[in-house]
């Protein structure tokens, strides 16, 4: 096919370029700007090169936050993905109960994030919260504001409650797209329930599962609001995840230079992992065709 060359066509792309510039590129550039400068006040800045990046990369505090973050993301992925698959497999496939359970499952996704935090913050309090009070009456030591384990359990359970639904919905959609002939063929072949899952359901769900995994990875890696509302990063620094630490550094301490370098590294890590996932997904698609 012959294509016409007309340089004026660039003007048609201009609106998009402007939009993207204002929404992403320019704010990002200010961050880049901060990350390579320092100031002693009076709005006088001077270049410091990559000093902040070096500092952040060698900072014990950031390493600790990254460790907590990785632990948190790993735990919730290990729970939410299998649990989501399990729930999707056991949901009714048609009729009234299919719609009913879909709505029930989708509900947590509709709750705003800070409300989720508030719900669990109150839910877990031992004076007025249903969960906290019940546990206290049962004689179980539970106090998310003072006990590290309690705080972690609360935040993980909260995230599982909030986000497993997403995995469930994606898996459910994947399962619904499997033609009934596959199940009939499996019956005829006398495949066991496990084999049906292993060779029919799981391969057919692989695409949506990767998307679920990617979304849950990104979201949990950037989690801020819910733990901030429930524990505020405490007790001590026990639930200070990367974004909480970043906000502390940027707004609490007003260390704009290191915070800018920190957020750029943070951004690159997420970009890298997302890119890796994207490559895997497209490769799987290629294999299929």
Partner 1 sequence: MAKITLSNLAHSYIENPTKPEDYALRKIDHEWTDGEAYALLGPSGCGKSTLLNIISGILTPSEGKILFDEKDVTTETTANRNIAQVFQFPVVYDTMTVKENLEFPLKNRGASKEYIEKRVASIAKSIQVEDILNKKARGLTADAKQKISLGRGMVREDVNAILFDEPLTVIDPHMKWELRTQLKTLHKELGHTMIFVTHDQTEALTFADKVVVMNVGCVLQIGTPEELFKKPAHTFVGYFIGSPGMNFFDVELEGNIAKLDDKQIELNYSYEKTSKKIELGIRPEFVTLTNNSNDIKIEIDRVEDVAHHKIVRALLNGKKVNIIVPEDEKVTEDMTYISLDKDKINIYVDSWLVEGEKIS
Binding site for partner 1 (CB under 8 A): 179, 181-182, 184-185, 187-192, 195, 199-200, 203-204, 287-289
For partner 1, which is the closer residue by CB, 161 or 183?
183
For partner 1, which is the closer residue by CB, 133 or 204?
204
**Closest distance between partner 1 and the C-beta of residue 210, in Å?**
15
**Closest distance between partner 1 and the C-beta of residue 202, in Å?**
8
For partner 1, which is the closer residue by CB, 63 or 187?
187
**Closest distance between partner 1 and the C-beta of residue 178, in Å?**
10
For partner 1, which is the closer residue by CB, 191 or 270?
191
**Closest distance between partner 1 and the C-beta of residue 193, in Å?**
12
**Closest distance between partner 1 and the C-beta of residue 207, in Å?**
12
Closest CA to 41 of 229, 254, 183: 254
With tokens 């204002």, the residue in question is 22
For partner 1, which is the closer residue by CB, 127 or 288?
288
For partner 1, which is the closer residue by CB, 4 or 289?
289
**Closest distance between partner 1 and the C-beta of residue 199, in Å?**
4
For partner 1, which is the closer residue by CB, 58 or 286?
286
**Closest distance between partner 1 and the C-beta of residue 289, in Å?**
8
Alpha carbon separation from 34 to 25, 39, 263 (Å, rounded): 14, 10, 11
Phi-psi label, residue 276: left if phi above 0, alpha if psi -120 to 50, beta otherwise? alpha
| CA–CA dist 257, 31 (Å, integer) | 9
Residue pair 190/39 in contact (Cβ under 8 Å)? The answer is no
């Amino acid at each position: 096919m012959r294509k016409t060359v007309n340089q004026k066509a660039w003007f048609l792309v201009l609106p998009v370029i402007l939009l993207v510039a204002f929404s992403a590129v320019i704010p990002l550039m200010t961050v880049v700007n901060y990350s390579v400068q320092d100031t002693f006040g009076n709005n006088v800045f001077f270049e410091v090169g990559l000093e902040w990046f070096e500092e952040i990369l060698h900072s014990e505090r950031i390493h600790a936050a990254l460790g907590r973050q990785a632990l948190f993301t790993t735990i919730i992925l290990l729970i939410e993905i299998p649990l989501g698959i399990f729930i999707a497999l056991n949901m009714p496939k048609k009729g009234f109960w299919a719609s009913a359970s879909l709505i029930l499952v989708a509900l947590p996704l509709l709750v705003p994030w800070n409300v989720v935090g508030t719900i669990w913050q109150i839910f877990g309090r031992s004076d007025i919260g249903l969960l906290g009070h019940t546990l206290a009456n049962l004689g179980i030591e539970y106090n998310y504001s003072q006990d590290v384990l309690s705080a972690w359990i609360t935040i993980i359970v909260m995230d599982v409650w909030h986000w497993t639904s997403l995995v469930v919905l994606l898996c459910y959609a994947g399962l619904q797209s499997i033609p009934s002939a596959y199940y009939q063929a499996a019956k005829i072949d006398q495949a066991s329930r496990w084999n049906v899952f292993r060779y029919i359901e799981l391969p057919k769900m692989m695409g949506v599962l990767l998307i679920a995994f990617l979304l849950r990875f990104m979201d949990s890696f950037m989690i801020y609001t819910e733990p901030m509302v429930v524990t505020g990063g405490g007790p001590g620094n026990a639930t200070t995840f990367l974004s909480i630490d970043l906000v502390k550094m940027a707004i609490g301490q007003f260390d704009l230079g290191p915070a800018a370098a920190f957020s750029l590294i943070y951004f690159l890590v997420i970009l890298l992992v997302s890119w890796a996932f994207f490559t895997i997904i497209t490769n799987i698609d290629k294999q299929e065709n």
